[in-house]
Amino acid sequence: MTRAEELLSSVFGFSAFRPGQAEIVAAVAAGQDTLAIMPTGGGKSLCFQLPALMGGGVTVVISPLIALMRDQVRALREAGVDAGALTSGNTDEETEDVFAALDEGRLRLLYMAPERLASGGTLSLLRRIGTRLIAVDEAHCVSQWGHDFRPDYLRIGDLKRALGVPLAAFTATADEETRAEIVARLFDGQTPATFLRGFDRPNIHLAFQAKEQPRHQILAFAAARKGQSGIVYCGTRAKTETLARALAEAGHPACAYHAGMEAEARREVEARFQQEDGLIVVATVAFGMGIDKPDIRWVAHADLPKSIEAYYQEIGRAGRDGAAAETLTLYGPDDIRFRRAQIDEGLAPADRKAADHARLNALLGLAEATGCRRQRLLAYFGEAAEPCGNCDLCDRPPELFDGTEAVRKALSAILRTGESFGAGHLIDVLTGTVTGKVGERGHDVLPTFGVGRDLPKTEWQAIFRQMMGHDLIRPDPERHGAFRMTEAARPILRGEAAITLRRDTIRAAAKPVVKALVSEEDAPLLSALKAKRRALAEAARLPAYVIFTDRTLIEMAERRPRTLDDMAHISGVGAKKLESYGAAFLEVIAGEAARIHPARLRLAGRAAGTLFDRLMAAQADLARGEDGTGKYLSCTHAMLRRIAETRPATLAELDRIGGMGSQKLDRFGVAFLDILADG
């Protein structure tokens, strides 16, 4: 077992690395400049936390949000790692404790916000404490065209040069353009060791629905998942408040979050979300980066996200613990018009606007996909995949039809009305509906008037929406959202290309299906384990997941460990957490307290633990000699632990352990050596 694997098991409680982690840890630990692009929830933090424990000095972590830093520091301390943060949110006492730990050489990881780099004393502090590595979380914040741009990230390159230490940068969202910007600004253009891990998050179920009654759709989705933590993303601040009220009235613990709220109110929501099980936060994208709660079980979008990258990042906040998670994204023509207008009315140059339209088009293509959504999503990121079996289109394959003729009729109506109208008027023309507007403009005598009578209006609405999804038509913001045809539509209009559309988008959506976390048989135990976790978390004033994540509790419920040795093999149960919480959770599983001496507890999950138990049994048999009439003798638990760990092979080596004495050596020596030789 390598040093990295040993620490992975003993500190973090994991038996193996996730795909890609081992190579990144090795590069960072070797002192290489490193850039790692990993999926959200793919275990980026471990890739700099583990190397920080493998060498001397301090690893300085630049992270964008105070809440994220505080959560990671608390989780590290619970795992037995000395870590601290210097943030504007610290109390004076907290700051003094961090400086004391730095002065004493105890601190292994120091978190700080990028804004602190502007302080004149920061560089001298980092030199004085022996900074060995700079780790940059959310490295895409250095991109000036990204929506998460943080100007102070531009100082990190200067810091690296000044300290002369390696830098490891991590992000989940970095296309080719952003990667080049990261290399230029953080690594002075020198290409670092680069790791581009897979983007797949197979535990997340993907689903889209066309908007029909959006509030009802969100309420139904939440109702089917009552008691689970979730996020609902909205396009406007006002909608976050109205939808949060609707959820609360339906009996859910829910609150709103947006950038227009007072800072203290936002911090209160962040703290509640981290601490409370089952809270729903209805938010704009202001509630985003830095949300590191691993047991978010679902994410819903009440409105279409701004791009496929934003969608990927936002749904990626669900299921970071690896357990099953679900998503639902609602979309409609108004969303598409709104997102197009945001791009067109922005201040970006023309080439940037074109790139943003392409990103939105990719998301619309995902929304209107006719086959596996995960295949489509991963293809955007350059990955090939088989049908996933974990999206709505794999669950319920859509009914397809040849939409070529219908699309040609719609395009003809758009052109014959001068590309001056939106879907409502065009559908009236196509279905032969005489309205005042149709009659006033003479559109009732057009050749296209009534050519679409064979389809109901609801189906035409779905066709127009899908045409936008395929980027055949775009609403023109300069003409109040009137549709204009794109170049991609011309081959269809000329009869040179065909197009397939979906019928399922215009049928009633299937009732929401809830993915059970455990079998029906194990569900009561999982609930009891969650209740114990909540009680411990509230007593310690910690987020529940810092005690154990959902995934760890699920494994406990399914495997039902009977001893602390068994518990030590549950994923996420490291040595410190086993010592702190193992007995409490065993009591829930077994229904009785698990009592164990601290010396034996330190050996839980190790081969030496079994040796300790056998030595204890032999000692009990020989406590009064082989005939049971001798003077009572025994070794201390600490001595037996040392014997089990060091495994002496001779009586002389056994004697050198100390504390045995000739009487105990004569009584137990041969029996102990026989056990050690067999073990």
Q: Please provide the average confidence, as pLDDT, over all residues in the chain.
A: 87
Per-residue pLDDT, 425: 93
**Which stretch of 205-214, 217-226, 491-500, 520-529 has the lowest confidence by average pLDDT?**
520-529
> What Cα–Cα distance (Å) separates residue 208 from each residue in 170, 325, 386, 393, 505?
29, 15, 19, 9, 9
Task: For residues 400 and 371, give the distance between their C-alpha atoms in angstroms, rounded to a whole number.
Answer: 10
Helical (H) or strand (E) element with 303 = none
Task: For residues 516 and 550, give the distance between their C-alpha atoms in angstroms, rounded to a whole number.
Answer: 13
What domains appear along the chain, each with residue ranges and CATH number?
Answer: 3-196 (3.40.50.300), 204-395 (3.40.50.300), 400-502 (1.10.10.10), 523-596 (1.10.150.80), 607-678 (1.10.150.80)
Contacts of 418 (CB under 8 A, 6+ apart): none
Sheet-wide strand order for 58-62: 83-86, 109-112, 58-62, 131-136, 167-171, 34-37, 193-196
Q: Does residue 20 surpass a pLDDT of 90?
A: no
What is the mean predicted confidence (pLDDT) over 71-99? 89
Q: Does residue 315 surpass a pLDDT of 90?
A: yes
Per-residue pLDDT, 443: 94
Return the bridge partners of 111, or none. Answer: 61, 85
Task: For residues 596 and 606, give the distance between their C-alpha atoms in angstroms, rounded to a whole number.
Answer: 15
Q: Does residue 516 surpass a pLDDT of 70?
A: no
- Token pair for residue 436? 């005042």
Task: For residues 26 and 47, give the distance between their C-alpha atoms in angstroms, rounded to a whole number.
Answer: 9
**Which stretch of 243-257, 507-521, 532-546 has the lowest confidence by average pLDDT?**
507-521
Percent of the chain, pLDDT > 90?
41
Q: Does residue 542 surpass a pLDDT of 50?
A: yes
Place of tokens 């066709």: 463
Which tens digits make up the pLDDT trace of 235-245? 999 999 999 99
Q: Does residue 507 surpass a pLDDT of 60?
A: no
Q: Does residue 45 surpass a pLDDT of 80?
A: yes
DSSP state of 231: E
What is the mean predicted confidence (pLDDT) over 655-659? 76
Return the bridge partners of 171, or none. Answer: 37
**Which stretch of 115-124, 521-530, 665-674 has the lowest confidence by average pLDDT?**
521-530
Per-residue pLDDT, 474: 82
What is the mean predicted confidence (pLDDT) over 24-41? 90
Which tens digits make up the pLDDT trace of 171-210? 877 677 788 899 999 998 899 999 988 788 899 999 999 8
More confident residue, 656 or 83: 83
Which tens digits make up the pLDDT trace of 560-583? 998 888 898 899 998 889 989 988
Task: For residues 423 and 429, give the distance between their C-alpha atoms in angstroms, rounded to a whole number.
Answer: 10
Confidence of residue 502 (pLDDT cuts 50, 70, 90): confident
More confident residue, 127 or 345: 127
Which tens digits make up the pLDDT trace of 420-433? 998 899 999 999 99
What is the mean predicted confidence (pLDDT) over 326-346? 86
Q: Does residue 505 surpass a pLDDT of 70?
A: no
Task: For residues 96 and 74, give the distance between their C-alpha atoms in angstroms, rounded to a whole number.
Answer: 17
Contacts of 632 (CB under 8 A, 6+ apart): 623, 624
- Token pair for residue 39? 């999926």
Q: Does residue 145 surpass a pLDDT of 70?
A: no
Contacts of 397 (CB under 8 A, 6+ apart): none
Q: Does residue 470 surpass a pLDDT of 70?
A: yes
Per-residue pLDDT, 67: 73
Per-residue pLDDT, 47: 95
